[in-house]
Amino acid sequence: MTTGFQALDEPIRSRRNHWNNQLATHAQMRPDATAVRFRGTDTTWRQLHERSLKFADALARRGIGFGDRVLILALNYPEYLETVFGINALGAIAVPVNFRLTPPEVAYIVSDSGAKAIVTDTVLQPLAAAVRAQSPALETCIVIGGQSAPGANDLSVPGANDLSGDGVLGFDDLLAEDGAPHAPLDIAEDTPALIMYTSGTTGSPKGAVLSYANMNSQALTCIRALTMTQDSVGFCTSPLFHIAGLGSLAPAFLLGCKTVLHPLGAFDAGEFLDAVEREQATSAFCVPAQWQLICDHPTVRDRKLALEVLSWGAAPASDTVLRAMSDCFPNAVNVAVFGQTEMSPITCVLEGKDALRKLGSVGTPIPTIQTRIVDDEMNDVAPGEIGEIVYRGPTLMQGYWNKPEATAEAFAGGWFHSGDLVRRDADGFIYVVDRKKDMIISGGENIYCAEVENVLFAHPKIREAAVIGRAHEKWGEVPVAVVALTSADDTLTLAELTEFLNENLARYKHPKDLVLVAELPRNASGKVVKVQLRKDYSS
């Protein structure tokens, strides 16, 4: 077919709708505006763009190219974003990794992804060194902050040494070196941009392959749900290795608004409030456990905040937490976002106007995806009945990296199986009942752990709670409550708990044992690690 004109490479590349092009747009159109603010220092859009391209040049000179995987094992820094953009500028795939994993766990991800290089930082040098010792294929190791710094070896990792030897390079040294630039590429929107490994709360992690189109759809979802504009100031507390981190930054890349990147570490509600007040952030995302700490802080109601939107997700929120958020932030809308890594991640949104009217719901499906609620035979269940929610749509991952069988299982019947058991009310609002793998069958009755946990959270002495199943000779399984109390001086017996539950929960759902712990084991995403609880308390 004759088009009547000569197609040029650059106009084709510039039409691509992905975050590297969005970065280039902001670098040209508003170069001196702040892209990222970290520890009081601003990185402009021009600086972010230029440094990302220099990093891409350095990677290309070391043999990294289209389709190659590069592991990122680092805390939250602006350099983390420069690393992602630099990797993606080559058509290579960024593989963010949870820095709280052990060396063998990270080495598994290196092997599974086939990563050729790793980017780390001075704080995590011991972990990176231990991983590199188990992963000969990691030819290149790049250290943000140089190759050594005070405190770099404070992290206790058995068998770890300092990073040294061939292939260990400083991040800033790479940006300063002379050499040939990389060749610009036309990268299609359906090209993989990220491999995001699931948290592995129910087994070995799997790498969800997410494309630029996936992340662009996620950006549009956030812009709509959080009513974001170019003047918005986002506050990011999530680790960037988690989809909640990069997923919350995707709309900022599209709009060109400012993001305040909060340093990682033990969460301190006072420091959070100080920073949100100082930076006049307009929106903030936290997991429910963090919002509970924020609402409990004695100064929360005395702050001069600009917060317009509170959002939460990644773990269930109890009615107690949601009511506390409403009381503490009466001028901000409370938006629940629900989903999972494989969906980039948001699938359902509960808008602020419905937060109290539909208390306990995760909202309605976003407009761009299809959903069904089905039984084990893929038959649709009636409104009010419980089934698994399954998805199709533009945010859906391409599959699990290097795991065709797991991918086929997840897409059985032509829909992505979430593993979430839900019900839909007459108005179309979704209520999460439990994870399918967490459901307890006791004496032929289904017991949904999330329902029991929600009631436990209402007990005045209980700060956090999780319910697991324990094998039982007569009933098959019975529920067990593992709880942390509000105060170290508090006591709670199973008899007291049973008396409280009598008015709120059917008897067959009552925990048959009570385990008191100082705190529940959580992964870096804030999710309770029930695998560990079952290992410790299921017998």
* CATH code of the domain containing 531: 3.30.300.30
pLDDT of residue 447: 83
* Nearest-angstrom CA–CA distance, 63 and 60: 5
Q: Between 435 and 296, name the one with better pLDDT.
A: 296
83 and 108: one domain? yes
454 and 409: one domain? no
pLDDT of residue 400: 97
Would you give the DSSP letter of residue 497? Answer: H
Q: Is residue 200 part of a domain?
A: no
User: Which of 408, 435, 462 is the last residue before a domain boundary?
Assistant: 435
Q: Is residue 194 part of a domain?
A: no
* Nearest-angstrom CA–CA distance, 484 and 474: 29
Q: Between 7 and 45, name the one with better pLDDT.
A: 45
Q: 147 falls in which pLDDT band (50, 70, 90)?
A: very low
Domain that holds residue 136: 11-187
pLDDT of residue 146: 46
With CA atoms as reference, report the closest residue to 206 among 314, 88, 342, 339: 342
462 and 328: one domain? no
Q: Is residue 202 part of a domain?
A: no
**Is the Cβ–Cβ distance between 21 and 28 less than 8 Å?**
no
Q: What is the pLDDT of residues 300-332, one digit of tens each?
A: 999 999 999 999 887 667 778 888 998 999 999
CATH for 82: 3.40.50.980
Structure tokens at 489: 């001086």
SS3 state at 286:
strand
80 and 153: one domain? yes
**Is the Cβ–Cβ distance between 134 and 150 less than 8 Å?**
no
pLDDT of residue 156: 45
Average pLDDT across the chain, whole number: 89
241 and 338: one domain? yes
* Nearest-angstrom CA–CA distance, 182 and 441: 58
405 and 486: one domain? no
Find out whether the peptide bond into 345 is cis, omega within 30 degrees of 0: yes
* Nearest-angstrom CA–CA distance, 418 and 416: 6
- Specify which residues 209 forms β-bridges with: 195, 399
Look at 57-71, 108-122, 146-160, 251-265 and tell me which has the smallest mean pLDDT.
146-160
**Strand 283-286 with 233-236, pairing:** parallel
Structure tokens at 82: 């420069």
For the segment 104-113, the average pLDDT, to the nearest whole number, is 93
422 and 455: one domain? no
Q: 1 falls in which pLDDT band (50, 70, 90)?
A: very low
Q: Is residue 112 pLDDT above 80, yes or no?
A: yes
163 and 59: one domain? yes
**Is the Cβ–Cβ distance between 48 and 27 less than 8 Å?**
yes
**Is the Cβ–Cβ distance between 110 and 135 less than 8 Å?**
yes
**Among residues of the chain, what percentage have pLDDT more than 90?**
67
For the segment 253-279, the average pLDDT, to the nearest whole number, is 94
pLDDT of residue 166: 72
pLDDT of residue 145: 87
Q: Between 353 and 370, name the one with better pLDDT.
A: 370
Q: Is residue 150 pLDDT above 50, yes or no?
A: no
Q: Is residue 424 part of a domain?
A: yes
**Is the Cβ–Cβ distance between 299 and 274 less than 8 Å?**
no
Q: Between 249 and 522, name the one with better pLDDT.
A: 249
User: Which of 137, 157, 187 is the last residue before a domain boundary?
Assistant: 187
116 and 213: one domain? no
Give the DSSP H/E element, type plus range, for residue 246.
helix 243-255
pLDDT of residue 316: 66
Structure tokens at 293: 């700490």
Q: Is residue 152 pLDDT above 50, yes or no?
A: no
Q: Is residue 351 part of a domain?
A: yes
Q: Please report, for residues 32, 195, 336, 427, 484, the alpha-carbon distance to residue 333 in angstroms, rounded to integers and kept in the order given.
A: 31, 32, 10, 21, 29
164 and 306: one domain? no
pLDDT of residue 162: 65
Q: Is residue 201 part of a domain?
A: no
CATH for 267: 3.40.50.12780
167 and 26: one domain? yes
Q: Is residue 195 part of a domain?
A: no
* Nearest-angstrom CA–CA distance, 429 and 436: 19
Q: Is residue 77 part of a domain?
A: yes
Task: Give the number of domains in the chain.
Answer: 3
pLDDT of residue 154: 40
Q: 148 falls in which pLDDT band (50, 70, 90)?
A: very low
Structure tokens at 441: 């069958």
Look at 99-113, 352-366, 384-398, 520-534 and tell me which has the smallest mean pLDDT.
520-534
429 and 480: one domain? no
CA 178, 183, 186: angle at the middle one, nearest 5? 150
User: Which of 412, 435, 458 is the last residue before a domain boundary?
Assistant: 435
Q: Is residue 283 pLDDT above 90, yes or no?
A: yes
